Amino acid sequence: MIRKIVFYPDPVLRKPAAPVTDATAEVRALAEDMIETMYDAEGVGLAAPQIGVSLQLAVVDVSHDEECISYLRVNGEDATLGDICPLVFMNPELELLGDKEVESEGCLSFPDLRGEIIRPFEVKATLQTLDGKTIVIETDGLFARAMQHETDHLFGKLFIDRMSSARKLAIKRQLKEMQAEFG
């Protein structure tokens, strides 16, 4: 089922989400809805708070572009995006690695807004899966960026928080318009 995406400045986007303690049938159904909603919105990731649910649950799928990464290891073994995506994960812990890079990012909770965001190029992510396993993913590129972006959502941090002061000033009017329309 496609869910309604919550737009800035909805307070759920700023609230740190609760850890998922059990992958119940309800959590599994929510994950399926999130995947469907992400695809419908043509996104590469979606966090539960973005559909109004304050849980540490997110989905990411960048498998449409195998070239967007230079490596991927799952539990120390080489893997492909097709092996792991769509990735559904809970309660993430990220170790940010490598040089930082500036890339343009958007967010489904901020329609028509993009910004240059500085993030580490690589990540080592310890994640819980719906089948109760803990996995470690090591990767770079867009996959690493998407996991960082969605994990930020789970802790109440938004991509606008990572924009430069100059860019924040430049989008001030757009944010006020969003507050008026969606607030």
Question: CB–CB of 130/23 below 8 Å?
Answer: yes
Integer angstrom CA distances of residue 71 from 22, 142, 148? 31, 11, 17
Exactly one of 95, 150, 177, 181 is catalytic; which is it?
150
Question: CB–CB of 152/158 below 8 Å?
Answer: yes
* Phi, psi dihedral angles at 103 (to 5 degrees): -140, 155
**150 catalytic residue (yes or no):** yes
d(CA 64, CA 86): 10
- Tokens encoding 6: 């919550």
Burial label for 14, CB within 10 Å (0-12, 13-18, 19+), is middle
* Phi, psi dihedral angles at 80 (to 5 degrees): -115, 160
Residue 29 identity (one-letter amino acid): A
Question: CB–CB of 89/130 below 8 Å?
Answer: no
Question: CB–CB of 15/47 below 8 Å?
Answer: no
Point out the residues that are catalytic: 150
